[in-house]
Amino acid sequence: MEKYEFDSLVLSVSLPAQLCVREHSCWLHVKKEVREKGLLLDKDDVIPLKEAFKWIVQGPIAKELGGVSVVTKSALEVAVEFTHQPTDADCHFLASACPDCFKPTKNKQSVFTRMAVVKALEKISDAKFLRLFACPPPQPSSCCVPQGVHCLHLSVFIAGRYNKFCRSLPQTPWVIDGERRMESSVEELIAAPVLSAFRADGFNFSSSGREDVDVRTLGNGRPFAMELLNPHRARLNHEEMKQLQQSINVSSDKIRVRDLQIVSREAMSRMKEGEEEKTKSYTALIWTRKPIKSEDIAFISDIKELTLDQKTPLRVLHRRALAVRQRVVHSMNVRFMDAHHFHLELKTQAGTYIKEFVHGDFGRTKPNLCELLKTDTDILELDVESVDVDWPPAIPE
């Protein structure tokens, strides 16, 4: 626990399942004694053993940890599990009394889970229980044994935007048939300093769309978010976040991060909200088989709101379902370069396959640039210029 930074914790205690049997036996004994004295006592009036134990130990725990609050709701959970082998057999009689409650499961070593024992105790009649188990229960000769302390901190979420300046860097680790194809990725270049700063056990990375390995992401960058799993440090102030962003940016010239900030779990969904209604802007370097003049391509700049039918591209068919998706190219602008090359600027609906719009993907995208220009065309370079998602909030430099 010394590796965690925290000012409060919630204590989670796992007691041996057989204690439920002993607690039930004690309750039946107390109920009989109270009834004989002409008094009334409901089970709800009795504090459960587990809660009583937590009340007793939370004061000493708080004191031992230097005044840390032990509360019912905290980002840090401290779980303590106890066992008591000498009384393990105390609940075995329930298996024959209530066989339906004890079903073998793959992940559990024993069928006598706490949940199964509680369920059986709810089903068994008092008379039957008293026939099969001592009331009150015999006093054990040894104490429960702690099996260890396990700490788990709630996830911390961070967000920002990244630029990618390299045409040989995948967004996520590129593994094909179990073999690593590229030495790094955008995800890993960002994650390494972040994991170190928050001392987290792991992470989940997500972003507003993704670019191909050979595509740059320029402009204000692409929004991304990370869930940090079991962080041992959960808070960084504004200056520390600024330093973390700087350490990411100096670690590689292939990427750059901006607007790095801690966000809430709820805010994460803003990145994905209405994703297909968002627009993205691109610049592509186009090659044409047939020689062209500036006036041959000028008409493209006049095309607005062009609806495409895009069958799942061949290059992604191994990981995406076969479907025909309608996407809209909102506007285009051309800049003539030479007889076989021009720059094409596009503003499109998010999710549009730009490469396939250019070369047609063997007719799987219609209409396409080949049809419009009546010649074979291909894309030599592609840059993402903007991802129009207004999240996360911009942080002034």
Cα dihedral sign, 60-61-66-68:
negative
Let me know: does 362 contact 304? Beta carbons within 8 Å.
no
Average confidence score pLDDT of the chain: 94
Report the distance separating Cα 19 and Cα 50, nearest Å. 9
Q: Residue 256 — φ and ψ, nearest 5°?
A: -145, 140
The residue behind tokens 């998706």 is 325
User: Side chain identity at 145, as an amino acid letter?
Assistant: V
Is pLDDT of 1 > 70?
A: no
Average pLDDT of the segment spanning 93-121:
88
Report the distance separating Cα 266 and Cα 276, nearest Å. 20
The whole-number pLDDT of residue 75 equals 96
CA 16-21-24 angle, to 5 degrees, is: 125
Is pLDDT of 333 > 90?
A: yes
Is pLDDT of 106 > 80?
A: no
Is pLDDT of 187 > 80?
A: yes
The whole-number pLDDT of residue 177 equals 80
Question: Tell me: the pLDDT tens digits for 15-39?
Answer: 999 999 999 999 999 999 998 888 8
Question: Tell me: the pLDDT tens digits for 203-246?
Answer: 999 999 999 999 999 999 999 999 999 999 999 999 999 999 99
Residue 360's pLDDT band, with cuts at 50, 70 and 90, is very high
The whole-number pLDDT of residue 297 equals 97
Query: 232 Cβ partners below 8 Å, 6+ apart?
Result: 3, 4, 5, 153, 198, 199, 200
What percent of the chain lies above the pLDDT cut of 70? 99
Peptide bond into 223 cis (omega under 30): no
Residue 88 annotated as catalytic: no
pTM: 0.86
Find the helix or strand (DSSP H, E) in which 160 lies. Answer: strand 156-164
Average pLDDT of the segment spanning 89-106:
90
CB-side neighbour CA atoms (13 Å) of 248: 28
Let me know: does 87 contact 140? Beta carbons within 8 Å.
yes
Question: Tell me: the pLDDT tens digits for 342-356?
Answer: 999 999 999 999 999
The whole-number pLDDT of residue 176 equals 79
The whole-number pLDDT of residue 272 equals 81
Find the helix or strand (DSSP H, E) in which 82 lies. Answer: strand 76-83
Angle, in degrees to the nearest 10, between helices 186-198 and 238-251: 140
Report the distance separating Cα 212 and Cα 324, nearest Å. 20
Residue 93's pLDDT band, with cuts at 50, 70 and 90, is very high
Find the helix or strand (DSSP H, E) in which 20 lies. Answer: helix 18-36
Report the distance separating Cα 25 and Cα 141, nearest Å. 18
Find the helix or strand (DSSP H, E) in which 63 lies. Answer: helix 49-64
The whole-number pLDDT of residue 109 equals 76
**Could you say which of 212, 214, 378, 388 is catalytic?**
212
The more confident residue out of 2 and 93 is 93
Question: Tell me: the pLDDT tens digits for 313-327?
Answer: 999 998 899 999 999
